[in-house]
Amino acid sequence: MTTGKIRWGILGPGSIAKSFAGGVAGSRTGELVALGARNPAKPGLAETFPGARILDGYEALLADPNVDAVYISIPHPGHAEWAIKAAEAGKHVLCEKPLALTAFEADAMMHAARKAGTFLGEAFMYRLHPQTLQLVELIRSGAIGEVRMIKSSFGFAMPGFMPEHRLYANDLAGGGILDVGGYPVSMARLLAGAAIGQPFAEPDKVVGAAHLGQSGVDEWASALLHFPGGIVAEVSCSISLDQDNVLRIFGTKGRIEVPDFWFAGGNRDVGPGRIEVIRSVAAHEVIGLDETRHLYSFEVDAAGEAILAGRQEFAWPGMSWADSLGTLRVLDRWRAAVSLEYEIEKPAKRVTTLSGRPLRTDGKAIAKRAIPGLPKPVSLLALGFEDFRSFSSGSILLDAYFEAGGNLFDTGFVYGAGYTETLLGQWLANRGVREKSVIIAKGAHSPLCYPDVIAKQLAQSLDRLRTDHVDIYFMHRDNPDVPVGEFVDAMDAEAKAGRIRGLFGGSNWTMERMDEAIAYAEKNGRQKPGALSNNFSLAEMLEPIWAGCVTSSTDAWKAWLAARQMPNFAWSSQGRGFFTERAGRDRTDNEELVRVWYSEKNFARRDRAIELARKLGKSPIHVALAYVLAQPFPSVPLIGPRTLDELEDSLKALDIKLTPEDVAWLDEGPERRRA
């Protein structure tokens, strides 16, 4: 743990870096020792950053053993890359706002800091100024009654359109939403939380509008945030329009006004703090805090105190990781509402991993296995990723899964109205790893479950995937009204045409239809259905999660799969949360869990998974996934992590090697007790 004063290094000179240096000089806990600059010979650096060694480049700063913590002040697109590299170098990080371009990037930064055991904080310095805590106390005390509405702006006018300036540069993620929109949004979330006694609150509705200028960035924008309980916030920002920049909080017994709250009514050096409480024309109270310390010294000391205490996040009212993620999710929704995606977020320019490095192709964390009928080995776990809606967000998880050794990707024609296939196709082409990857495609979902649909949808899927074939194809549903031979003929034709170069079969097909399909193929010289994609889990699905779903977790199914050695690509392989704390005999708030999984037999299996997990030092969900992997037939779990932490957690199941006796005990109980 760091002791004594925190030795700060600044990554990237600039006006905000100069202000931070002043804050360090005025702090109790820190000292400035180094500056990393890509142009270390630039005149004036030594004078602007007195006492700091001027180092040649950012890497030199991260390699310096005399630097404990790094302040990142470069333009927004570099925040994630250098914060991750700093964590990997063992450096604590205070990063200028916005913490990242998106909540997905910020989550990856937190993942890196969590693994490294280092501090990571977002430098919304206003949150550490005493004025902010005073505001919260006023709200909590009921000084203006119950809060109903919040209005806040942060807007200014540049001299004119300046394409070379970072605020107008698309490749530097310019515009108001990311540069200053986070101030009113984070403040609104803080105040809405204070009104209900919480550290912050999350809006349940976000409606945004913006003017996108000639460089494609937002020059002025506004948004409405609705919070549970009825609080409404109006926020706005601009880089080409002067606004009054007053925070207004309206309650049932008055209002509060704070000018330029992010500077506490001052400038980058000193923010004295000034709050006006207006209850009527005659009742007008001015609360002056008369602060004289350097404005940035508060965040320097808050970060320093956290680091010295061994904490990885700011203490409240500083921005915790959850708070930073919440603000970025609002900014993500605001940007989505106005269709603002920067060119640097698109595949053409996002050609490396988030950490700025080329994709590694030698991962070993996820082992591979041979499955009859497939020309190349496939990873033990298949990745599903239908929750992502942009290349920049989805590629983070795809990169991490592939670098861990994963090469099996599960898609479907209907997922995200086709966007999952599009995203995977962009990623495979961008990273150049199509030949190293195995694609699962699915089509013919009800109500369009007919033989002639297979070829039509597969053609669209291949176009989206940017490839001429898939490796595994499943009909997404079955239609018992159609003779099974017609479906076999349709899939066989695609295999003969080379558009399916491996296995095909059914997802959510019954045992009887699979038997019938195989018999038809054998009799008529067609390729046999050679794979299944049904639900399979330690917990048996009691009724379909969605219409037309089929589980293969019954004893009869397990015997059939083992006898035929039929590969099953198991969806919902971990019981959709049944083996986590979301479920329990006394927890009935989740309708899906109760309806689909709650039975005494399943709870007994869950109890045994908990017991075994304790012995192994794992979690029950790891045991549940290991159970699927340990079946006496080719069993490939489909996992759907949303974050890097969830992905890494899933991989812990690969450390568990269950014996046939273990599998039987987990499934059947005490009569097969584990030795």
Which residues participate in catalysis according to the annotation? 97
DSSP three-state, residue 164? coil
Contact assessment for residue 442 and residue 476, using Cβ atoms and an 8 Å cutoff: yes
Angle at which helices 644-651 and 391-403 pack, to 10 degrees?
20
CA nearest neighbour of 504 among 537, 533, 534, 530: 530
Q: Is 309 exposed, middle or buried (0-12, 13-18, 19+ CB in 10 A)?
A: exposed
DSSP string of 606-662, one letter each residue: HHHHHHHHHHHTS-HHHHHHHHHHTSSS-EEEEE--SSHHHHHHHHGGGG----HHH
- In order of 560, 637, 672, the CA distances from 663 in angstroms are 17, 16, 9
Contact assessment for residue 474 and residue 505, using Cβ atoms and an 8 Å cutoff: yes
d(CA 191, CA 187): 6
Contact assessment for residue 537 and residue 624, using Cβ atoms and an 8 Å cutoff: yes
617: left (phi over 0), alpha (psi -120 to 50) or beta: left
Residue 576 identity: R
DSSP three-state, residue 159? coil
Dihedral over Cα of 663, 668, 672, 675: its sign: positive
Q: Quickly tell me which residue has 């804050």 as its tokens.
A: 23
DSSP string of 397-432, one letter each residue: HHHHHHHTT--EEE--TTGGGGHHHHHHHHHHHHHT
